[in-house]
Structure 1
Amino acid sequence: MSLARITSRALAGTDAPEVTVEVHLANGLPSLTLVGLPDTEVKESRERVRAAIQLAGFEFPNRRVTINLAPADLPKDSGRFDLPIALGILAASGQLSAQHLARHEFVGELALNGELRPIRGALLMAMAATRAGRTLVLPRASAGEAALWPQASLAQADSLQAVCAMLNGQARLEAPEPPPPALAPDYPDLSDLKGQLTARRALEIAAAGRHSLLLSGPPGTGKSMLATRLPGILPAMSETEALEVASVRSLASGGLDPTQFWTRPYRAPHHSASAAALVGGGGQPRPGEVSLALHGVLFLDELPEFERKTLDMLREPLETGRVTISRAARQVDFPARFQLVAAMNPCPCGYHGHPSGRCRCTPEQISRYRGKISGPLLDRIDMRVEVPSLPAQDLLRAAPGEPSARVRERVETAFSIQLARQGVANALLDGATLDDIARPDAEGAALAAQAIERFHLSGRAYHRILRLARTIADLEASAAVNARHIAEAIQYRRGL
C-alpha cells in the first residue's frame, strides 16, 4: 500500500486532541514533505525518523514521501510525532503490517538509533485514548505517568524495533506495572516556628477556608517559614484533585513524578519571573506557575520586587480559578485554583518600625515601595498579617510551637463542615449563597457597617470579610457568625 494512517495525540491546554498522521508514497524525485501546521521540533523529525528507520534495520523508501498531520489547523509541537511518522512510512512502504494500526495510538520521540525517549503530557494522552477505546503505545519512560489513570489501556516500548515487532506479530509489548504507592507527603512542620502566635492563627484560618494571605514584616521574622508550612496543614487532596494536579504537572518540562501523586504543589517563583512564566504563555502555550500550583500554594516572596504588570495578571485567576491564553488563531484554558501566600518587607530597607530604629527610609520611599502593589490586587487578598521581630527572650526560651498534625486536625474538621454545607471552601463562596451562609447577627452587622465606613471598604472587601468570618466560625464549630468573628476578620483586612 502507498497510503497509511496512524493515530496520535497533540496537546492543547489540558486537552489531548486526536491527530491523524497520513503518509503517502508517490513516484518522483526522492523527498520528504511534512504539512499540517508543524512547528520547528516536528519539522526536525524528518532527520530523526530517517536515521531511526535505517539504524533499526529497515529501508527508508527512495520515493516522494508526503506526511500530513490532520487536522491541519491544529498546531503540532514537540517530538512526540516521531514514532507515528516512522510507523506510517514503514506501513506505506509495505515493511510493516497495517492490520493492528487502527486499534492503537502511538506517541514517542525517536533517538537516532531508534530508541524511544519520554514525552510530555502522557497522562492526558492516556485519558484521551481510553475515551476513544484504543490502546496507547508510548515510551517506557513515560508509561509510569500514564498508568496513574487506572482505566488506561497501555503498551510500553523501548524502541522503534519493539513496536514494529508487535505490529508484525513477532512479539508482544508489556503493559506498564501499576505505579508504586505514592509517598506520604513530607511537609515542613509548624513546630519549627517559635512565637508569632498571630501569624500562626492567620495561617490556620487561611488553610481552613483556602484564603489568600499577605505576610509583612522585617527580614528574618519567619514569613517564608510560615509559607512553606501551609501545605502541611491543608486537608489531604481528593483523588479528583490529585488527578487534576498530575495532569497539569505532566505538561511541565520536568514531567511528573508518580511518587508525588498525593503531594500538594508548592511553587515559589523568583521575583524576576516573567508574565509568561507566572501565568503561562509561549508560542505553543504552556501552563505557568499559577497553574502548576493548582490545589496547592503559590508563594511570592518579596512581592513588591515583582513587576507591577506581572502581578496584576494574578487578578483574574484569583477570581475565576482559570487562565485563558489567547493567540491569533485560538484560545487555551488552564486551571489555576491556587492559594496565594505573599510576603513583603514594610519598606525598601526592611526595618520600618523595627525596635532597633535602623530604618532610614523616607516616607516617599516607603510610599513608592508599597505602591508597587496595585490596589485592585490588594483588594483580592483576603488577609494581611504583620510578622514582627521577636524579642530575644522569645527566641532563646520559647518552647517548640504546636505541630502541624494537631493544627491540620482542626483545619480538616472545619473544612469538612464547609463541604457538607455548601460543597466548596469558604473562599469560593459568592452571591446569594454567601449571604445565606455567612449572614452575621445584628451586632456583627453593625460592626461590619462601621468598618465599611471607617476603612472605605469596597463591596469585594466586605464579601471577603464575611468569608473570613464564616471560616473563623467554622473553626469554632459555630453555626452562627457573630460580632467576635466579624471583629477578627476585620482585623485581618484592616491593613489592606
Structure 2
Amino acid sequence: MSKGYGSAVFGVDAQIITIEVNIVDGTKFWLSGLPDSAVKESEHRIESVFKYFEYRMPRKKVVVNMAPADIRKEGSSYDLPIALGVLKSSGQIIADDLEKYVIMGELALDGTLRPIKGALPIAIEARKNGFKGFILPLENANEAAIVNNLDIIGVTNLVEAIEFLDGSRPIEPITYDTREHFFNHLNDYEADFAHVQGQENIKRALEIAAAGGHNVIMIGPPGAGKTMLAKRLPSILPPLSLQEALETTKIHSVAGKLGSNAQLITKRPYRSPHHTVSDVALVGGGGVPQPGEISLSHNGVLFLDELPEFKRTVLEVMRQPLEERRVTISRAKLSVDFPANFMLIASMNPCPCGYYNHPEKECVCGSGQVQRYLNKVSGPLLDRIDLHVEVTPVSFDEMTQNRKAESSEVIRERVISARKIQQERFKTEGIHSNAMMGSQMVKELCQINEAGKTLLKTAMERLGLSARAYDRILKVSRTIADLDGKENIGIEHLAEAIQYRSLDREGWAG
C-alpha cells in the first residue's frame, strides 16, 4: 500500500487530499472518495501512459481511496499522484519521499504533463501543512514558486517525476524573488492619461473616483472617448500592495486565467465583459463554482460598456456584491465565497440614437424613448454609483493642440495622498476608502457648515435631485476635500460634487 497527497480547490482556497493506493486479489480498478467523471477516466489515461513507458498496470484489484471521502473530487489533475501511487504499490518504483510532497498534474497519453488550475492556492496550502515540496507541471512552476519555504519541483512528464522521487534525477527547486518582481513591475501600464487630449473634466471626475474608490457612470455620444478613458483608470489607482497582488493572483489561478509560465500579478486588473455576458459568467458559479468577472476584477476595475444593453437580470445580480464586496455561491452541499472588491465603471449613450444633448448633432429619438432607454438601468443599481459624468466629444482644436497632457503618474501621486488621508481616518473602522462609508459614518465624517447646507438644499430643490443623491454628494465632496488636503468640506467641494449627479436631475431626459 502507498500513500500520497494531492489537493482540491474550493473557491480561492485549497484542501489537502490524501490518495491511498492498495493492490489486493481480484480484478478491476476502483476509485472511491466521490470522484467525478474526469477523475474516474484517469484509469484509461494512466494505463496508456504505463504502456508507453513500459510499465504495467497490475492485473489485480487496484483500490484508490481519496480522503476525505465526503468531499467531491473534480478534474483531471489527480492523474500524476494516482499513477505514482499505483507504481509504488505494485513495487515498480522506489519512492520513499512520496509522502513528503503534494503532487498534481494531468497526464497526456504519451506521459507528458498538462498544466493545472489553482497551483498558487495549492502551494499555499502545502506550505501551511508542512510539506517539503510541491511536484507539478513545469508550466505552473513559476506560479507556485511565489510561495517561499516550499520546494517547487517542475516536471514535464511522468518519468521525470519518478526519477526525481527515486533520487536518480536531481531537480533544482524553482526559485522566485516575489518582492523583486513585484516592485520592478508595479506600475507597468501601457495606457496613460498623457495620451488623452482634452476631456479635462472627465479626467478630473476619474481622479476623484480613484481617490475615493467611487463607482462612475459616463454618459455621452458614440466616439466621445468613454472606453478610452476607462482603460486608463487603473493607471491612476494606488499601486497594489503585496497582499492584494497575492489575492488577485489566487483568483486568476483558480479560474485558469494566468496562462503558462505565469507569475505574480502586479497591475490592477481591468475586465471588460461584453454586454451578452450571462449572470453566472459575471458573478461566478457553475457546477464547479468558478469566479466570475466581478471576482476577476477584485482590487481593480470592472468596465461595463453600453450599460443599458446588458440584460436586466445580469445587472441586478451585481447589487449585493457592490455593497458587500464579495459574492457567495451556494449549492446543496457547498457554499463558496469569492472576493469582489472592485470599482465599477460604466458607460452608456444618452439615448438609442446616441445624440441626445449633443452640442452639434440632432437627436432623432421620439418622445419618451430617451426615458425608456435610461429606465433599462434600475434605480437601485444607479443608487450604488456615486458619480454621473456627461462626456462630450473633443473639438478639433483640442485634438490638434500640442499642449502635453498631465501624465497618469502625476495624477496617481495626488490619488495616493488622498488615500493616505482616508487610511488614517478609517484605520480602526475596517474600511479603506470614502466610498465604503455607511450612512452613519457619512453623518459623522462629512459634516458641512450652514453655508454648505444652504447650497446643498438649494441644489436639491432647483435641480430636482433625489434623496438618494444626498449621501453620494457628501461622500464625493469628502473625497474632493481630501484631494485638496482640507480637513473640512467647503462650499467649493460641495459645488463640484453636485455637478456629478446628472441622472438624478428631474427632467434630464426631457
Common topology (TM > 0.5)? yes
Structure 2 match to 1:318: 322
User: How far has the Cα of 1:247 moved from its partner?
Assistant: 0.7
Count of residues paired in the alignment: 492
Quick one: structure 1 residues 357 and 113, their matched pair in 2 at CA, closer, same or farther if it must change by over 3 Å? closer
Contact conserved, 1:193 with 1:222, CA < 8 A, in 2? no
1:237, distance to aligned residue in structure 2 (A): 0.8
Residue pair 1:279, 1:287 contacting (<8 A) in 2 also: yes
User: Which amino acid letter does the alignment assign opposite residue 316 of structure 2?
Assistant: D
Is residue 476 of structure 2 the alignment partner of residue 468 of structure 1?
Answer: yes
Distance 1:64 1:445 in 2: 81
- Give how far 1:315 is off: 0.7
1:439 maps to amino acid: Q
Partner of 2:154: 156
Question: Any idea what the Cα deviations from partners look like across 1:18-73, whole Å, max 9, x if unmatched?
Answer: 111122222123x1122322223222222111112232332211112222222233
Gaps of 5+ in 1: none
Alignment of 1:403-422 (within 5 A): 403-422=407-426
**Distance change (3 Å), C-alpha of 1:149 and 1:446:** farther
Q: What is the CA–CA distance in structure 2 between the aligned matches of 1:321 and 1:204, rounded to whole Å? A: 21
Task: Show the 5 A alignment for 1:101-180.
Answer: 101-134=98-131, 135-178=133-176
The alignment status of 1:337 with 2:337, answered yes or no, reads no
SS where residue 359 of structure 1 aligns? coil
Output the CA distance in 1 between the equivalents of 2:236 and 2:465: 33
The aligned residue for residue 396 of structure 1 is: 400
The TM-score with structure 2 as length reference comes to: 0.91
Moved more, 368-377 or 443-452: 443-452
Gaps of 5+ in 2: 505-510
Alpha-carbon distance in structure 2 between the residues aligned to 1:25 and 1:259: 40
Q: 1:195·1:398 contact (CA, 8 Å) conserved in 2?
A: no
368, 374, 389: which one pairs with 2:378? 374
What residue in structure 1 maps to residue 7 of structure 2? 9
Are positions 1:353 and 2:357 aligned together? yes
Offset, 1:453? 6.2
TM-score by length of 1: 0.94
- Residue 444 (structure 2) pairs with residue 436 (structure 1): yes
Q: Which amino acid in the other structure matches residue 112 of structure 1?
A: L
Contact 1:185 1:260 in 2 (8 A): no
Give aligned-pair identity as a percent.
44
- Which residue is 2:507 aligned to? none
Please tell me whether residue 191 in structure 1 is matched to residue 194 in structure 2. Answer: yes
- Aligned counterpart, 1:457: 466
Match of 1:24 in 2: 22
CA-to-aligned-CA distance 1:298-334 (integer Å, 9 cap, x gap): 1110111110100111111111110111112111110
Q: CA deviation at 1:398?
A: 6.5
Is the partner of 1:16 in helix, strand or coil?
A: strand
- Show the counterpart of 1:54: 51
For the residues of structure 2 that align with 1:355 and 1:456, how far apart are their CA atoms?
Answer: 24
Contact kept, 8 Å, 2:193 with 2:232, in 1: the verdict is yes
SS in structure 1 of the partner of residue 503 of structure 2: coil
Q: CA deviation at 1:232?
A: 0.8
Correspondence 1:277 to 2:275 = no
Counterparts of 2:450 and 2:82, CA distance in 1: 71
| 8 Å CA contact 1:441, 1:480 repeated in 2 | no
Of 381, 387, 390, 2:391 maps to: 387
Superimposed CA distance per residue, residues 202-257 of structure 1 (whole angstroms, 9 cap, x where no aligned partner): 01100111111000000011101110110111111111111111111112233256
**Counterpart for residue 225 of structure 1:** 228
Cα deviation, 1:103-126, whole Å, max 9, x if unaligned, reads 211111111122222111111111
Q: Give the Cα separation in 1 of the matches to 2:150 and 2:366.
A: 62
For 1:70-124, what per-residue CA distance to the aligned partner results, in whole angstroms no more than 9, with x for missing partners?
Answer: 2233222222111111111112212233532222111111111222221111111
- Name which of 35, 39, 48 aligns with 2:36: 39
* 1:260 CA displacement: 6.0
3-state SS of 1:66 partner: strand
SS at match of 1:298: strand
For the residue of structure 1 that corresponds to 2:499, the secondary structure is helix
Counterpart of 1:226, as a letter, is L
Contact (CA 8 Å) 1:439, 1:481: kept in 2 or not? Answer: yes
Partners of 2:294 and 2:126 in 1: how far apart? 28
